[in-house]
Amino acid sequence: MEMSEFWKVKGFSELLKEWAKKLADSGFTDVEIEINGERLLKQNSSNAFRTQDPMIISSKQRYYELVTNALNWDYTMSDRDKVIMTHYSEGMKQADIIKELEKGGMKCQRQLITRTITNYLQKWKIPILKERKNY
């Protein structure tokens, strides 16, 4: 018997189930999932970006680099605008930007964030990133 076929040994599946139960009881979270008898890595939402077309990934990275560079050279921004644009340049969602502003004691609405982002992108001559769902 080859070493690569260890799963065919009598009793292996019972041993695997026993250890899976022990690990689950101890609070261990397995990174694999069994589907149709095959063990596969779980796909988390954080992995979705890595499965995209490399050209799209590269384009998004370049886009946010442009925003970050423009942000670092603009010395006329208010503190609130700087916080908004810094988080936007890191790819943060607007709802999360609002939470960050509130942590800092600043009140803000979604419309103000959208307007701030749009105004600075226009000022810096950077087009607004629009996600395409269908290619």
Written as one letter, the residue type at 69 is N
Classify residue 59 by its DSSP letter: H
Would you give per-residue pLDDT tens digits along the chain (135 residues)? 455 677 677 788 788 888 888 988 898 887 777 777 777 777 665 555 566 778 888 888 899 999 999 999 999 999 899 999 999 999 899 999 999 898 888 888 889 999 999 999 999 999 888 766 544
- Which pair of structure tokens corresponds to residue 32? 């694999």
pTM: 0.59
